[in-house]
Chain A
Amino acid sequence: MTDKTMTAEEVVSRLHSGMTLGIGGWGSRRKPMALVRALLRSDITDLTVISYGGPDVGLLAAAGRIRKLVAAFATLDSIPLEPHFRAARQRGAFELMEVDEAMFMWGLHAAANRLPFLPVRAGLGSDVMRVNPGLQTVTSPYEDGETFVAMPALRMDAALVHLNRADRLGNGQYLGPDPYFDDLFCEAADRAYLSCERLVDGFAAAAPQTLLVNRHSVTGVVEAPNGAHFTSCVPDYGRDEPFQKLYATTPWPEFAERFLGGDEKTYQSAVQTWHEEQQ
């Protein structure tokens, strides 16, 4: 059986500029932040990012790596508006495909099912249709004859997700209350990279429904303890609210210099030092 373990750097070495990249999690919850930070250390840019947006979008936007964003929102949850996403939008820094969260979900389903689109009622009558002139409608071939939006598949070159546990083969387990859409991200992508809090030898004692991601949809596995920081990864840890506040209120160059200059280990220890200073 294939051992798929690799480092975050190895994941990034398989990505390149101009890619369409899906990022799992939701808002400021269970984001693959260690992988995003590794991406920030590379010179990969010109990305199309598909995300239920949180600080992943904010970080990549602040660093100027996004050419196009596909999203329904970007939020830090306890801080409703993502400051770097806002700033980037207000300076017209990237192209946006703004869709509704259900449209987004059906775009993932379409991609995972190798369909060009799926019909959705959502979008009709809203300005989502105005700002996405490429969105088409489709008429039901059955008696009802209803008209729906044909939500295009959100197919990705690669997906990044973070789960609580994984084995070396690429099976992933979530232990929190919500799977978000991480399995769909993996299935909607040509290649998917799964970081986890802890590598395990197997899932003998696991509740089967916690085994969210199956190995056939995963290319690489990275053990990244605290790898969702500062977003939440319950039950392993909650959101680091003080640090998130720091992220949201510190000018980007200052934040990047203090926390993103070195590798992941350096990041984690810089965070720890900052917390100690707050005592």
Chain B
Amino acid sequence: MSSTTTTRAEYCVIACADAWRDNGEVLASPMGLIPSIGARLAKRTFAPDLLLTDGEAMLVGLDGAAEGWLPYRRHLTMVTGGRRHVMMGASQLDRFGNQNISCIGDWQQPSRQLLGVRGAPVNTLNNPVSYWVPKHSQRVFVARVDMISGVGYDSAAAAGPSATRYHRIPRVVSDLGVLDFETPERTMRLASVHPGVTAAEVQAATGFPLTRPDEVPYTREPTASELRLIRTVIDPDGLRDREVPPA
């Protein structure tokens, strides 16, 4: 281990990176800074076959050199072909993993218009979708989302086999911990807390009851090599601390 203490942002990076473990030769689509650092860490270490983009129309290696062309129309084919694992943001997220990025309030005349559903409906029905929430709060983790953009487990089940066939939400990473849907009802479960956080704190910041094992494990420690890569190669300027400040 490094002599310095692992920061909260670094636990978040590790938890995001692990989302792409054993995914094979798929496109990692990270949205947000910490998922981006996580995807690059995964590719540099345990998931070398991952594909990355430059955020525009090119597939690029870790050095930024182009290795393929992925304009929007081909990107959408990659989504529906399933060779992709995206980590999206969420303005709202409920206990079945329904996600909202469209608007807050009544859809007819929202109190706050956000982005629109974007690609959340197609993503969630076609390739694994994880979520990243930099500020875990009851504003984000709500009992019921206002506009289902990303499809959750209950909504997919209600829509039938065409909806459930490729639907999968592997994990939700927040600044407090890692959540998944490994329960019989496919409801949100607290899988781990980042060191320094208690399960009770996560529950208090969540607007619905979480499934909590008696002993909630801690998010794993980075290896010395992972920590070195994060700090000296991938994010030497420490931008990660701006997205998730030290606890």
- Distance between Cα atoms of A130 and B108 in the complex (Å): 11
Query: Which among A81, A120, A127, A146 has the highest number of chain B CB atoms within 10 Å?
Result: A127
- Give chain A interface residues in 83-117, CB to chain B under 8 Å: 85-86, 89-92, 98-103, 105
Question: Using Cβ atoms and an 8 Å threshold, which residues of chain A touch B158?
Answer: 125
Cβ-based interface call for B156 (8 A): yes
- Distance between Cα atoms of A191 and B150 in the complex (Å): 35
- Please give the distance in Å from A179's CB to the nearest CB on chain B: 6
Question: Using Cβ atoms and an 8 Å threshold, which residues of chain A touch B116?
Answer: 53, 71-74, 98
Interface pair B118/A178, CB less than 8 Å apart: no
- Distance between Cα atoms of A75 and B119 in the complex (Å): 13
- Give chain B interface residues in 92-137, CB to chain A under 8 Å: 102-103, 107-122, 124-126
Cβ-based interface call for A147 (8 A): yes
Cβ-based interface call for A126 (8 A): yes
Question: Using Cβ atoms and an 8 Å threshold, which residues of chain A touch B167?
Answer: 125
Interface pair B58/A177, CB less than 8 Å apart: yes
Question: Using Cβ atoms and an 8 Å threshold, which residues of chain A touch B125?
Answer: 121-122, 124-125
Sorting the interface of chain B by its residue count into under 10, 10 to 19, 20 to 34 or 35 or more gives 35 or more
Question: Beta-carbon contacts of A176-214 to B below 8 Å, as 1s and 0s?
Answer: 011111000000000000000000000000000000000
Interface pair B102/A102, CB less than 8 Å apart: no
Cβ-based interface call for B159 (8 A): yes
Cβ-based interface call for A148 (8 A): yes
Chain B's closest residue to A89 (CB) is B113
- Give chain A interface residues in 23-75, CB to chain B under 8 Å: 26, 53, 71-75
Question: Using Cβ atoms and an 8 Å threshold, which residues of chain A touch B110?
Answer: 89-90
Question: Using Cβ atoms and an 8 Å threshold, which residues of chain A touch B76?
Answer: 101-102, 105
- Please give the distance in Å from A206's CB to the nearest CB on chain B: 17
Interface pair A73/B122, CB less than 8 Å apart: no
Query: Provided the pairs A81-B114, A105-B76 are in contact, do residues A128 and B107 lie with their beta carbons within 8 angstroms?
Result: no
Question: Beta-carbon contacts of B67-78 to A below 8 Å, as 1s and 0s?
Answer: 001011100100
Interface pair B161/A146, CB less than 8 Å apart: yes
Show the binding face of B for A, using Cβ within 8 Å: 56-58, 69, 71-73, 76, 79-80, 102-103, 107-122, 124-126, 147-151, 155-156, 158-163, 165-167
Inter-chain pairs besides A101-B122, A179-B71, 13 sampled, C-beta below 8 Å = A72-B116, A73-B117, A75-B115, A90-B112, A91-B109, A92-B108, A102-B79, A102-B121, A127-B147, A127-B148, A177-B56, A178-B56, A179-B73
- Give 7 CB contacts A-B under 8 Å: A81-B114, A98-B116, A102-B119, A126-B148, A131-B107, A148-B162, A177-B58
Show the binding face of A for B, using Cβ within 8 Å: 26, 53, 71-75, 80-81, 85-86, 89-92, 98-103, 105, 120-128, 130-131, 146-148, 177-181
